[in-house]
């Protein structure tokens, strides 16, 4: 009897060894496969720390870039010449630049192309508390950034809709200040009378008990402009196709996650923007992340309008040019044709 039990134990030990061998081999093979599957490096520049950039941060924090096979490094670079130069040199593969800035650079010979968008800007025309209406702006000054910048182009397109001709009825003052919250400070200090501000700027002022007069919303007058866009070079779009498709899959899934999961979005805002006020967090989620399109195709109508304005005097190289000359939406179109958006919405 004892001999029989001993034999059974020996048999069971052999079976147990066999049972553990297969999973162990699977783990080892899986580990080797993961090591062999090297992530493709992609350098992604962002040019401001605003809620608009949240899809990049969500994709990074949740591991979506790795999920789709890329090692995306997010690098802060100042907007304008520095970010454009980084693309041209090949140091960056994707950047967050205004489409108009990309078109200007391309018209002057840079191989830059607009490949996506963060959506429409949520700008409002705001004024010093002493100015109660649009007609009170006559003879006053409006703080912009610099000639040819996004806010500057928007003001030149928008003000005539309000019956105000720049240079005749109002003065557009270049401040060199890209951050709208800092322009508001300058306005409240009396340096100029009005400016363009984002919606969360207005919410922040309300939280702190400060007041400005919100005079108009450009979109209500049919004046559209992008808050920011995604740019690359024609060479990267052509030669790094798989990496670009992976980038947009991660970017789009991050938009979807952020829209659906407010707590995730709030955690990202808290970490990257150092914001903790729930009213402001909700505003950022609603007015920024909430407005980024799931299909982030470049806004050709907004760029077309910017080109028309810029070509009149500021950038003669844009004369006769159109948005289609500077847009390449083929990567987004390709992942849509592969039913990526449809699968994401299931």
pLDDT tens for each residue of 4-58 = 434 443 444 444 444 444 444 444 444 444 445 699 999 999 988 889 999 999 9
Looking at residue 148, what is its pLDDT? 80
pLDDT exceeds cutoff 80 at 277: yes
Q: Name the residue among 102, 97, 78, 69 with its Cα closest to residue 321.
A: 102
Strands of 94-97's sheet in order across? 70-76, 40-46, 94-97, 229-233, 112-117
The string of pLDDT tens digits covering residues 106-161 is 999 999 999 999 999 889 999 999 999 999 999 999 999 988 888 899 999 999 99
Q: How far is CA 102 from the centre of its chain?
A: 14
Looking at residue 326, what is its pLDDT? 98
Average pLDDT, the chain: 89
Q: Name the residue among 45, 106, 85, 63 with its Cα closest to residue 229.
A: 45
- Separation of alpha carbons 154 and 309, rounded Å: 9
All domains in the chain, ordered by first residue? 40-118+228-344 (3.40.190.10), 123-221 (3.40.190.10)
Looking at residue 178, what is its pLDDT? 81
Q: What is the mean pLDDT of residues 236-263?
A: 98
Distances (CA, A) of 70 to 42, 59, 60, 144, 263: 7, 11, 11, 38, 26
The string of pLDDT tens digits covering residues 49-83 is 889 999 999 999 999 999 999 999 999 998 778 99
Looking at residue 55, what is its pLDDT? 98
Looking at residue 192, what is its pLDDT? 97
Q: What is the mean pLDDT of residues 197-215?
A: 91
- Are 96 and 270 spatial neighbours (Cβ–Cβ below 8 Å)? no
Residue 186 CB burial class (10 angstroms; 0-12, 13-18, ≥19): middle
């Amino acid at each position: 009897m004892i001999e029989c039990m001993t034999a059974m134990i020996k048999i069971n030990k052999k079976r147990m060894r066999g049972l553990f061998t297969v999973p162990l081999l699977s783990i080892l093979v899986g580990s080797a496969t993961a090591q062999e599957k090297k992530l493709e490096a992609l350098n992604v520049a962002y040019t401001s720390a605003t809620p608009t950039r949240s899809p990049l941060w969500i994709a990074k924090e949740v591991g979506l870039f790795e999920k789709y096979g890329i090692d995306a490094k997010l690098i802060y670079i100042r907007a304008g010449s520095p970010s454009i130069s980084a693309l041209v040199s090949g140091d960056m593969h994707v950047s967050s630049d205004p489409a108009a800035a990309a078109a200007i650079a391309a018209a002057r010979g840079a191989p830059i192309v607009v490949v996506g968008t963060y959506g429409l800007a949520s700008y409002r025309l705001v004024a010093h508390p002493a100015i109660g209406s649009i007609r009170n702006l006559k003879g006053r000054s409006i703080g912009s950034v610099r000639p040819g910048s996004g806010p500057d182009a928007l003001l030149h397109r928008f003000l005539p809709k309000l019956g105000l001709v720049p240079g005749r009825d109002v003065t557009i003052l270049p401040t060199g200040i890209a951050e709208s919250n800092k322009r508001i400070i300058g306005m409240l200090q009396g340096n100029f009378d009005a400016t363009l501000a984002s919606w969360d700027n207005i919410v922040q002022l309300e939280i702190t008990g400060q007041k400005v007069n919100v005079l108009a919303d450009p979109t209500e007058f049919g004046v559209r402009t992008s808050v920011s866009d995604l740019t690359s070079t024609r060479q990267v779009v052509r030669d790094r196709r798989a990496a670009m498709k992976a980038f947009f899959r991660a970017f789009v899934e991050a938009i979807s996650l952020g829209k659906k999961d407010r707590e995730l979005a709030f955690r990202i805002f808290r970490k990257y923007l150092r914001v903790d006020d729930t009213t402001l967090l909700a505003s950022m989620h609603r007015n920024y992340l909430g407005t980024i399109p799931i299909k982030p195709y470049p806004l050709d109508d907004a760029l077309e309008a910017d080109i028309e304005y810029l070509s009149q005097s500021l950038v003669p190289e844009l004369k006769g040019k159109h948005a289609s000359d500077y847009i390449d939406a083929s990567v987004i179109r390709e992942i849509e044709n592969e039913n990526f958006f449809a699968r994401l919405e299931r």
